[in-house]
Amino acid sequence: MLLKNNFIILKLKRNFIALIFLLFTISILIFSNSNLIAVKSGIQLWVTSVVPSLFPFFVATELLMHTNIIYHIGNLLNRFMKPLFNIRGEGAFAFIMGIISGYPIGAKIATDFRKEKICTKEECERLLSFTNNSGPLFIIGSVGILLYRNTMIGLLLFITHLLASLSVGFLFRFWKRNTASNLYSSSPSYTTNKTQATLANLGEILSESIISSIQSILVIGGFVVIFSSIISILKSSGITHIVEIMLAPFFNFIHISPSFIEPLFTGFFEITNGISAISNIVSRKLSINILITAFLLGFGGISVLLQVLSITSKSDLSIKPYIYGKLLHGIIAVLYTVIFMNVFPFFNFDL
């Protein structure tokens, strides 16, 4: 009997992914009405928000990879990047573009750096841990102004998000510090297989950059739509409600309303929908809404994680530093937000 049970467990382990996919397919059929609305909403979100905000940055970073700008940034910032993050100066380009443009630009640039041998494997993994961030357009514009209707909340979340990112980068300077391939001269060295842009080949390079960017933006669009569908299924099937019942005693114990459980659970999968729901919860302690939002902005959600995995899977980079880094990012962002709320009265939004 024991042997038979072990055999069944082994079969389940081997076919776990197939069973998940089958269950997802069946759920789409069962909850087709609510799922159709969710998918339409996901497509609308992608078309109206993701494409306009990310596509130009994808093209811009692709074009910059065909120039010497990364080399010049490396020369300029190597004296700061090396002691702070144990990464050569060119890594600053990934951080700057990642913080300006948002998810998942930082991960894409770190992976491109690995493919082009601009940085070592260990350096690119360190870059993954802290350069893939929410951008100011999303945090200040979408979250602060549109969702919370308060620019100062957006500013607070962006400042603490940025500081948390830098803190994670500093902590990850010790990631695989003594690995053999990590021992090199501290001076920046820029080598790339990409064709350098000139007036003669500008049209060709622009076309290549646009095609590459379209492929990336389509993948992201697919993730947005699929996770909109997953969240809809979780709600329609009652799984979200079950999670809320299970976690309610704990939330009551820490004096946080259980009404935050469902949007937090949603945000764990996809941050945009989760943060939107959190901002709509009416609470006398608005700081709770803001702190949960700060964590989700730092963590990024499973949707962003899989987007990053789809990018890094084309290289030899490990996804582990990204996962550890984003969990740390969320926690540290919450700590910084608490500090700012208590130190600066104009950042205390409790009613």
Q: How far is 201 from 63, CA to CA, in rounded Å?
A: 12
Residue type, 242: I
Is residue 160 a contact partner of residue 294, using CB atoms and an 8 Å limit?
yes
185: domain range?
A: 30-347
> Count of CB atoms within 10 A of residue 137's CB?
17
Q: pLDDT tens, position by position, for the chain (351 residues)? A: 555 555 556 566 667 778 888 888 898 888 888 888 888 888 887 887 778 767 887 788 778 777 777 777 767 777 788 888 888 888 888 888 888 877 888 888 889 888 888 888 888 999 999 998 988 878 888 888 888 888 999 999 999 999 999 999 999 988 876 664 444 444 444 445 566 666 667 788 888 888 888 887 888 788 888 888 888 898 888 888 899 999 999 988 888 888 899 889 988 988 888 888 898 888 778 888 999 999 999 999 898 898 898 888 888 888 999 999 999 999 999 999 999 998 988 888 775
Is residue 134 a contact partner of residue 99, using CB atoms and an 8 Å limit?
no
Q: Tally the domains of the chain.
A: 1
Q: Which residues, other chains included, contact 102 with Cβ-Cβ below 8 Å and sequence gap of 6+?
A: 53, 54, 57, 133, 134, 135, 137, 138
Whole-Å CA distances, 71 to 92, 219, 325, 333:
11, 29, 26, 31
Q: How far is 73 from 69, CA to CA, in rounded Å?
A: 6
Statement: the pTM of the whole predicted model exceeds 0.85:
no
Which of 241, 80, 245 has the alpha carbon at shortest distance from 166? 80
Q: How far is 195 from 55, CA to CA, in rounded Å?
A: 22
Residue environment code for 145-181, b if the CB has 16+ CB neighbours within 10 A, otherwise e: eebbebeebbbbbbbbbbbbbebbbebbbebbeeeee
Q: How far is 283 from 154, CA to CA, in rounded Å?
A: 18
Which of 100, 103, 123, 102 has the alpha carbon at shortest distance from 113? 123
Asked whether residue 8 is assigned to any structural domain, the reply reads no
Residue type, 102: G
Asked whether residue 2 is assigned to any structural domain, the reply reads no
Asked whether residue 21 is assigned to any structural domain, the reply reads no
Q: Which residues, other chains included, contact 67 with Cβ-Cβ below 8 Å and sequence gap of 6+?
A: 196, 197
Asked whether residue 279 is assigned to any structural domain, the reply reads yes
DSSP 173: G
Is residue 229 a contact partner of residue 26, using CB atoms and an 8 Å limit?
no
Residues 335, 336, 338, 342, CA torsion sign? positive
Q: Within 145-193, where are the H helices?
A: 151-171
Asked whether residue 310 is assigned to any structural domain, the reply reads yes
Asked whether residue 147 is assigned to any structural domain, the reply reads yes
Asked whether residue 148 is assigned to any structural domain, the reply reads yes
**First-to-final CA distance of the chain:** 62
Asked whether residue 220 is assigned to any structural domain, the reply reads yes
